[in-house]
Amino acid sequence: MRATPFDIFRKDLLGTPVWMEAVEDIETARRRVTELVGRSPGEYFVFSHETEEIVLNTATRMYELAVPASVSSRNGDLISILFV
The percentage of residues in the chain with a pLDDT greater than 70, rounded to a whole number, is 68
Within a 13 Å sphere around the CA of 6, how many CA atoms are in the beta-carbon half? 19
pTM score, whole prediction: 0.68
Reported as a pLDDT band with limits 50, 70 and 90, residue 4 is confident
Average pLDDT over every residue of 33-42: 93
Residues 11-30 pLDDT 10s: 999 999 999 999 999 999 99
Contact predicate 25/5, CB 8 Å: yes
DSSP state of 60: G
